[in-house]
């Protein structure tokens, strides 16, 4: 498998080949997922919940993100490494540049931020300094206190139209990838068609250019109730490696997500 780059992801969108993504937070899991054909590994601020036991991603710090990014970078093989800028770490263009630089120097190859059109100047500034970005739209966990919980976004027409417009504006600003979380299938399909850059989905239906899940969720390692958009790939697998391989195959063959994992 050749090293995955932004050009690789662009060609996959153009050819219709689905992009496979999973999270990882340490060297062992980085090796596990990257050796099974995962295209993109995300060091997500979800580590606050799955690794630290926090109630949300809000308490995660830059030091946390840099530490876990360095750990994952040691064993990513050919996958692309994406890392989150955590809560309140990009409130100004200058702060975003300083913190994104720290993540890139820790091994990240693309930086993820949560927001919409208001991020356009930040995206442009980072690109000017050689830092590619992914903007996470829809249900953005860092804003859970504003949303009043983990709720599907974009169900009304005004909100959906605003998200489509934001996606187009962000592409014009230079964003390299979009990530849509918990949005209706039809809206995700429209956004994916409206932009020429890759669109990754989680709880956004089967029509995005790729899929991402939290690795602990798809391996059924997280306690309690699982999000609707995830699937337990361990239930029919004999090992974690086999489960990740099954996930990759299911995404590429269009078998995941199925209707029960989506929001109409």
Q: What are phi and psi of 232, to 5 degrees?
A: -85, 100
Q: What percent of the chain has pLDDT over 70?
A: 97
What is the predicted pLDDT for the residue at 96? 98
What is the spatial distance between Cα 224 and Cα 167, in angstroms, rounded to a whole number? 34
SS3 110: strand
Q: Kindly state the tokens that stand for 87.
A: 């809560």
Residue 148 has what pLDDT?
63
Walk me through the domains of the chain, giving residue ranges and CATH numbers. Answer: 6-261 (3.20.20.60)
pTM listed for this prediction: 0.96
Mean pLDDT, rounded, for 116-145:
93
Q: Return the structure tokens found at 49.
A: 């919940």
**Distance between CA 201 and CA 233 in Å, rounded?**
18
Is pLDDT above 70 for 149? no
- The mean pLDDT value of the chain amounts to 95
Tokens found for residue 218: 């798809």
Find out whether the peptide bond into 257 is cis, omega within 30 degrees of 0. yes
Give the single-character DSSP code of 2. P
Strand partners of residue 110: 82
Catalytic residue among 109, 116, 171, 181: 181
Structure tokens at 43: 């060091």
Length of the chain: 264
pLDDT score for 59: 96
Characterise 107 by phi-psi region: left (phi > 0), alpha (psi -120 to 50), beta (else): left
pLDDT of residue 225: 81
The closest alpha carbon to 260, from 237, 232, 231, belongs to: 231
Residue 159 pLDDT more than 70?
yes
pLDDT in tens, 233-251: 999 999 999 999 999 999 9
Closest residue by Cα to residue 157 from 134, 177, 181, 184: 184
* φ and ψ at residue 128, rounded to 5 degrees: -60, -25
Beta-bridge partner residues of 83: 43, 111
Is the pLDDT assigned to residue 125 strictly greater than 80?
yes
The verdict on whether 242 is a catalytic residue reads no
d(CA 112, CA 97): 12
Task: Please tell me the predicted confidence (pLDDT) of residue 150.
Answer: 62
């Amino acid at each position: 498998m050749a090293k995955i780059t932004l050009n690789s992801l662009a060609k996959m969108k153009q050819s219709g080949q689905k992009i496979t993504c999973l999270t990882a937070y340490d060297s062992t899991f980085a090796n596990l997922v990257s050796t099974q054909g995962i295209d993109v590994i995300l060091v997500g601020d979800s580590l606050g919940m799955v690794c630290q036991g926090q109630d949300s991603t809000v308490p995660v710090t830059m030091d946390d993100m840099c530490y876990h990014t360095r750990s994952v970078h040691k064993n990513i093989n050919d996958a692309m490494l994406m890392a989150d800028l955590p809560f309140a770490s990009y409130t100004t263009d200058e702060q975003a540049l300083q913190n994104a630089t720290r993540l890139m120097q820790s091994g990240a190859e693309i930086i993820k931020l949560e927001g919409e059109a208001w991020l356009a100047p930040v995206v442009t500034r980072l690109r000017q300094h050689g830092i590619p970005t992914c903007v996470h739209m829809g249900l953005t966990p860092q804003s859970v206190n504003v949303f009043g919980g983990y709720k599907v976004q974009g169900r009304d027409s005004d909100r959906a139209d605003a998200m489509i417009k934001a996606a187009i504006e962000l592409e014009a600003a230079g964003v390299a990838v979009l990530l849509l979380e918990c949005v209706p299938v039809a809206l995700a399909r429209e956004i994916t068609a409206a932009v020429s850059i890759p669109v990754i989905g989680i709880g956004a239906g089967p029509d995005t250019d790729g899929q991402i899940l939290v690795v602990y969720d798809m391996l059924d390692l997280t306690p309690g109730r699982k999000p609707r958009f995830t699937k337990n790939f361990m239930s029919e697998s004999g090992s974690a490696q086999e489960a990740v391989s099954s996930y990759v195959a299911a995404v590429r063959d269009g078998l995941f997500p199925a209707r029960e994992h989506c929001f109409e």
